[in-house]
Structure 1
Amino acid sequence: MARFNFFGEGLPEIDLEELKGKLIVLEGTDGVGRSTHIGLLKEWLENHGHAVLDTGMTRSALAGKRLKQAKAGNTLGGITMSLFYATDFADRLENEII
């Protein structure tokens, strides 16, 4: 399997070969049953002996609160909001997921 690095190293100081888990992402607009599917998948995985971390957008300690405020206020442009979401995910990836 080919190994690709995008935008430099991606995860500095982390050996990607040592990461044993899987990142499963479920996307969808509000009201389509995403939370229901996440709950069912989480229950199934745990019943089959897998540890599960349920995390979501706007939940990081670093950016979550301010990101929710920015969404409610409609004050930031698309690029800025995308960078805000990327910050939120990077913080959760480093401090919760890995």
Structure 2
Amino acid sequence: MSFLFKDKKNNDGVEKVGFEEILSEDRMIRREKRFRILNTVIIYNSEEDYYESLATCVNENNVIETISIEAFDIQENVIELKGAYVDYEEYEEDSEVKCSGKIYYL
């Protein structure tokens, strides 16, 4: 997901800038699911030197899965990840598998 600046408007020396979302046209959705978070953990990958946030979740069919929730959008009313819902989307973009999602309460 990327963003573009919209037109800038000057009002008495104050510059207002809005954002416009650009969705890539060349991505193929592989999987869409809704999960409920049971637990979260942050792991460290020493080989590639980075941290990753993982969530153990249950889907609509009561199957438990662990997914990465890195860079997912989180609604402002979410104060604890445990028990929150995740709308998960896995897609292929430029022959690379990526995922995105939104974390929220009902």
Task: Give TM-score scaled by structure 2 length.
Answer: 0.20
- Hey, which of these two has a bigger chunk of strand by percent? 2
Task: Give TM-score scaled by structure 1 length.
Answer: 0.21
- Hey, which of these two has a bigger chunk of helix by percent? 1
Query: Which protein has the larger Cα radius of gyration, Structure 1 or Structure 2?
Result: 2
